[in-house]
Structure 1
Amino acid sequence: MADISALPGFYRIAEADPGRRALIDTDGTVTTYGELLALVNRVSHGLRARGLVAGDVVAGVLPNGVDPVVMMMATGQVGLYYVPVNWHLTDAEIGYILDDCDARIVVTGPSGPAGPPAAASGGTPAEGAPYGAPENVAALAEGQPGTAPDARTSGAVMWYTSGTTGFPKGVRRPLSGKEPEETVPLYTWFMGEVCDLRPGDEIHLVTSPMYHSAPCAHTVFALHLGHTLVIAERFEPETILELVDRHRVSNAMMVPTMFHRMLQLPAEVRERYDVSSLRQVVHTGAACPVAVKKGVMDWWGPVLYEYYGSTESSIAFAVKPHDWLERPGTVGRPVPTFEARILGPDGEELPTGEPGMIYVRSGIGGFEYHKDPAKTAASMRGPWYTPGDIGFMDEDGFLFICDRRTDLIISGGVNIYPAEIEAALLEHPSVADVAVIGVPDEEWGHRVVALVQPVPGPLPAPQDLLDHLGPRIARFKHPRVVEFRDELPRTPTGKLSRSRVREEYLAR
């Protein structure tokens, strides 16, 4: 293989070493760097042929596989924003994101696991929508040259996140206007500093859906480092171990729920697979119980790298394995280019060891919520951004999280927003009021519980309420438990007091 250590990212690596393995798809199909680059170039030309110019938006409603990889790398060299959309969402939820992001083109799979409402099944998009009927990668590439497009400029991924409001908003970063080869080295250097990931003949396992920000970002980083992607269709504990063993996987990105589920496998199953090739397993997305993390490192060795941040802030704190073992429970120190402060309710900086709101500031660049300057301003204190979490730093600058956002539920590493579920349940004629909370769950981190105050009359069956949610919100957001209450606690101003609801539920 060619020496790619000094090459500035995927496009140059593919030109220098076209026979290098880029991707092993869910069905075992191997795509080389040269083949992937040719397809990426054709799709880039196809997007321009449809009239897209720098700053326009392309949305992808795509399952794990080569297609989302192609779309990220194609938009990434012609100055476009790419919006990955969770294809498990309902048509209404997908339609909201597509309309809000101003997508010019929506890309689905050959048969489309999902897509624009109505258009996914051969109908027409909503009236006034800027996108037409859904496209696919093959159609975009058809008849286009495999050579690099002219006037290449870096694009960006715009992920959708709900913050604490339950209404998704795109996290948009300014485009640099520079060629990818001018911007990629900064990010590959950053991943080396944070996770010890370097260019070379490494194997990266994609364990999670690429519509989530961290798996999506790590997929792109892996290609810019010259690594080979092994893509899992979905997470299944034994399947992941088998892929690590078969392909000699050296690095991966996971969430704590995955560790918990793999530790639950019988000893004879775990011992069946050789995981000694693993060197960096990066985890984020939720707090990892200390016992779970120690259990995995007892099994795999000191290979777990953790970082803490958000879609808005990106990676703000990180900790390497040996530092974590010296300080179990920490999420790390501020990463290069980042500063951090712990502030009290009046904005005063708090002393070491005292919990307060976490604020971070990046030297790399800021963000804005797409079409929502008020929400952007509300999340900032001058140049400082808060993820809304409470924590403290020790005398060496290591951060410890006390609690996640007050109302946010994180289940299996995925953010679930109570306000969205409550709004959907309140549409049911038998529901007078409702509080949705997250309660601790050994496997998932939190499980969703709905406490319902019914209207006078016969109680609805819990299953009736879940059936009501079916067409309104994705199944992974549905409550695991539905219970009824005569009355729900409120503050003196009439606002629902979720903290009291949670305290009373846990006390019972």
Structure 2
Amino acid sequence: MVQIARWATAFPAKVAAHFPDRGTSITYGELDARANRIAQWLIGLGLQPGEGIAMLMDNRPEFIELVYACRRAGLYYTPLSVHLRPQEVAYMLTDAAAKAIIVSPGLAELATALLHEGVVGAVPHFAVGEGLDGYDNFEAALARYPVPVELPPCPLGREFLYSSGTTGLPKGIKRPMLAWENRDAPDWDMTWKSLYGFDTDTVYLSPAPLYHAAPHGYAIRRTIGEGGTAVVMAKFDPIRALELIERYRVTHSQWVPTMFVRLLALPEAVRRGFDLSSHRCAIHAAAPCPIAVKQRMMEWWGPILWEYYAGSEGVGTTVASPQDWMARTGTVGRPVNGVTLHICDDDGNELPVGEVGRICFEGAPRFAYHNAPDKTAAAYNARGWASLGDLGRVDEKGWLFLSDRRADLILSGGVNLYPAEIESVLVRHPAVAEVAVVGVPNEDFGEQVHAVIVQREPRRDEAALRSELEALCREQLAGPKRPRSWEFAEELPRSEAGKLLRRILKERYLNPS
């Protein structure tokens, strides 16, 4: 892992990160100095190497400063989602054994609730920026350490991330730290560097929250860690994103499919009004991208869209270049980094080409969920192959195509139905912006297919559109796969990572009130 001091020495005045929505930037020299002072402060709080802190923060410079301070002080840091409820924060603080929490004033409502409900009372708690009532002032505490000093060698601190928790409480993923003497050792997974071309010339647009695993990794480790420049948005806005690509001559970016949908919803004249010629690598993941959406993005941005399938657990990665995807529409790629991909049934037996089963990887470093041995064991089969719980199939050349998560399957009349297959048909209709298919209770068949539709133009007659969609399904889908009930919504429930939260849709029918 490259130390930030290397870049501070090489080009101290170079900008490490722009925060255009805050009107500020931070150079490598400033970042190195601030990280050193913050590391002194954390050590002064009594934190020992191997212990950790939690961060409840929006996208701002202190987030990145704290990350590099923890790395230098040999500490774990746990970024918390700003959408958590107080009881979820309480669970994660306890599970991670956080010794301090640092919050942003921009999250005053949640931070105040944590204080009033006693969630943060047991640990030191600080607020950055202008501060927050009930929290100690971060800058005042830091003033006691006015200049950088030489720090003692210690293991290289790192992230302690939690899964998004789409099917239950978040699961912690805590990996071992590198010893000080190995601090410049490369990551096991260097795909992002060799395939996407991250280097000191990279200008990376981060349109998503830094507390989420992928934006965190790409903005902080893979851009700033490689001496490039990150452009960090406060929150995603389609026009603002295009403005920033043009203004900063962005070369790399990462997105989720819902962002593509919002970009494509802009008027043609607006979309074509920006100079995007510097943009050469747009990476996307987190959720399946509808084929029609990706095709339209390719037509607009050109063949620069790279797709990958992976998880925070690091059990394996597949990657599809723009050319790979155009040759095999819908694929999420083939394995990289020497892992082997298997498609298995519920007993761990490998399935033939073309059959849908559990996606398993062989050959990646083993991982464990923190304080959850049962969940860790469930992620591995008897052969030691790991799975994220997703379903898919491979073609005769070994290219992976996603189906669904096991938990999302619809069992209707004893038949397994895959929501993604049904959604891929419905989204072809030009009036459909997004669609989600879930199973809802049915007395005769156990479950029936229910479709939730987000229209491109919400004022369109819903009854007429439903008739057209039913006709499309009759042409494209076998009887059991056709929706039996319909719903029109303004938006779909999604996590901050862009993952569809089907459980929220299902809960409306399991617990009607």
- When normalised by structure 2's length, the TM-score is 0.75
Matched-pair contact (CA < 8 Å) for 1:341–1:360: yes
Q: Which residue of 2 aligns with 1:372?
A: 372
Q: Which residue of 2 aligns with 1:71?
A: 66
Q: Which residue of 1 aligns with 2:125?
A: 133
Q: Which residue of 2 aligns with 1:466?
A: none
Residue by residue, what CA displacement relative to the aligned partner does 1:421-443 show, whole Å, maximum 9, x if unpaired? xxxxxxxxxxxxxx999955568
Structure 1 pair 114/313, CA: closer, same or farther in 2 (3 Å)?
farther
CA distance in 2 between counterparts of 1:14 and 1:315 reads: 33
Residue by residue, what CA displacement relative to the aligned partner does 1:95-136 show, whole Å, maximum 9, x if unpaired? 222222111010112565466665546x85467x4x233354
2:57 to 53, 62, 67: 62
2:22 to 8, 19, 27: 27
Q: Which residue of 1 aligns with 2:168?
A: 166
Alpha-carbon deviation of 1:61? Answer: 0.1
Structure 2 SS opposite 1:95: helix
Quick check: 1:236 aligned with 2:228? no
Matched-pair contact (CA < 8 Å) for 2:325–2:331: yes
CA distance in 1 between counterparts of 2:506 and 2:42 reads: 46
Question: Aligned runs of 1:305-384 on 2, under 5 Å?
Answer: 305-313=306-314, 316-363=317-364, 365-381=365-381, 382-384=383-385
Alpha-carbon deviation of 1:48? Answer: 0.9
1:153 is matched by which residue type in structure 2?
A: P
Using the TM superposition, name which of 8-17 and 270-279 deviates more. Answer: 8-17
Quick check: 1:203 aligned with 2:203? yes
Paired residue total: 426
Q: Which residue of 2 aligns with 1:44?
A: 39
Alpha-carbon deviation of 1:344? Answer: 1.6
CA distance in 2 between counterparts of 1:260 and 1:486 reads: 31
Structure 2 SS opposite 1:291: helix
1:240 is matched by which residue type in structure 2?
A: A
Q: Give the RMSD, CA atoms, in angstroms.
A: 3.4
Structure 1 pair 484/12, CA: closer, same or farther in 2 (3 Å)?
closer
Alpha-carbon deviation of 1:219? Answer: 1.3
2:78 is matched by which residue type in structure 1?
A: V
1:132 is matched by which residue type in structure 2?
A: P
2:43 is matched by which residue type in structure 1?
A: R
Alpha-carbon deviation of 1:405? Answer: 3.6
Alpha-carbon deviation of 1:310? Answer: 1.4
Structure 1 pair 55/181, CA: closer, same or farther in 2 (3 Å)?
closer
Structure 1 pair 95/180, CA: closer, same or farther in 2 (3 Å)?
farther
Residue by residue, what CA displacement relative to the aligned partner does 1:24-58 show, whole Å, maximum 9, x if unpaired? 11322121110011111111111111111121121
2:73 is matched by which residue type in structure 1?
A: V
CA distance in 1 between counterparts of 2:7 and 2:301 reads: 31
Residue by residue, what CA displacement relative to the aligned partner does 1:130-180 show, whole Å, maximum 9, x if unpaired? x23335453453222324522142222122125565122211112222457
Matched-pair contact (CA < 8 Å) for 1:250–1:279: yes
CA distance in 1 between counterparts of 2:390 and 2:507 reads: 27
Structure 1 pair 140/298, CA: closer, same or farther in 2 (3 Å)?
farther
Q: Which residue of 2 aligns with 1:100?
A: 95
CA distance in 2 between counterparts of 1:372 and 1:331 reads: 29
2:304 is matched by which residue type in structure 1?
A: V
Using the TM superposition, name which of 326-335 and 70-79 deviates more. Answer: 70-79
Q: Which residue of 1 aligns with 2:214?
A: 214
Percentage of identical aligned residues: 34
Structure 2 SS opposite 1:58: strand
Alpha-carbon deviation of 1:85? Answer: 0.4
Matched-pair contact (CA < 8 Å) for 1:44–1:75: yes
Alpha-carbon deviation of 1:8? Answer: 3.8
Structure 1 SS opposite 2:298: helix
Matched-pair contact (CA < 8 Å) for 2:238–2:259: yes
CA distance in 2 between counterparts of 1:324 and 1:115 reads: 42
Structure 2 SS opposite 1:331: coil
Unaligned residue ranges in structure 1 (runs of 5+): 1-6, 419-434, 445-475, 488-508
Matched-pair contact (CA < 8 Å) for 2:315–2:367: no
Structure 1 pair 58/344, CA: closer, same or farther in 2 (3 Å)?
same
Structure 1 pair 85/483, CA: closer, same or farther in 2 (3 Å)?
closer
Matched-pair contact (CA < 8 Å) for 2:58–2:106: no
CA distance in 2 between counterparts of 1:109 and 1:65 reads: 9
Quick check: 1:192 aligned with 2:201? no
1:85 to 74, 80, 83: 80
1:171 is matched by which residue type in structure 2?
A: I
CA distance in 2 between counterparts of 1:332 and 1:92 reads: 38
Matched-pair contact (CA < 8 Å) for 2:101–2:120: no
Matched-pair contact (CA < 8 Å) for 1:257–1:443: no
CA distance in 2 between counterparts of 1:390 and 1:326 reads: 22
Q: Which residue of 2 aligns with 1:155?
A: 157
Alpha-carbon deviation of 1:205? Answer: 0.7
CA distance in 1 between counterparts of 2:5 and 2:452 reads: 45
Structure 2 SS opposite 1:306: strand
Alpha-carbon deviation of 1:326? Answer: 0.9
- When normalised by structure 1's length, the TM-score is 0.76
Residue by residue, what CA displacement relative to the aligned partner does 1:12-32 show, whole Å, maximum 9, x if unpaired? 112221111111113221211
